[in-house]
Amino acid sequence: MLKIRNGRDFVGGATMVLISLLFIWFGWELDVGNSFQMGPGYFPMMLSLLLMAIGLSIIVQSLVVAAQDEGSETANWKAYCLVILAPVFFGLTLSGLGLAPTMLFAIAAVSMASRYANWRHSIALGLFMALSSVVLFTRLLSLPVSAFGPWVPFVGGP
The contact set with other proteins (CB under 8 A) reads: 8-9, 11-12, 15-16, 19, 23, 26-27, 30-31, 34-44, 47-48, 50-51, 54-55, 57-58, 61, 73-76, 79-80, 83-84, 86-88, 90-92, 94-95, 99, 103, 106-107, 110-111, 113-117, 121-122, 125-126, 129, 133, 137, 141, 143-145
Q: If we measure between CA atoms, which residue out of 22, 20, 71 comes closest to residue 49?
A: 20
The residue type of 2 is: L
CA separation for the pair 47, 54 (Å, rounded): 10
Spell out the alpha helix ranges (H) of the chain.
7-26, 42-64, 77-97, 99-111, 119-133
- Whose Cβ is closer to other proteins: residue 1's or residue 35's? 35
Q: If we measure between CA atoms, which residue out of 125, 130, 102, 101 comes closest to residue 112?
A: 125
Angle, CA 66 vertex, CA 62 and CA 71 arms, to 5°: 105
- Whose Cβ is closer to other proteins: residue 25's or residue 154's? 25
Count CA atoms within 13 Å of residue 146 on its CB side. 12
CA distances from 49 to 21, 39, 58, 100 (A): 9, 16, 14, 48
Rounded least distance, CB 76 to other proteins, Å: 6
Rounded least distance, CB 105 to other proteins, Å: 11
Rounded least distance, CB 1 to other proteins, Å: 24
CA separation for the pair 79, 112 (Å, rounded): 8
- Whose Cβ is closer to other proteins: residue 9's or residue 148's? 9
Rounded least distance, CB 5 to other proteins, Å: 14
- Whose Cβ is closer to other proteins: residue 39's or residue 155's? 39
Rounded least distance, CB 3 to other proteins, Å: 19
- Whose Cβ is closer to other proteins: residue 49's or residue 155's? 49
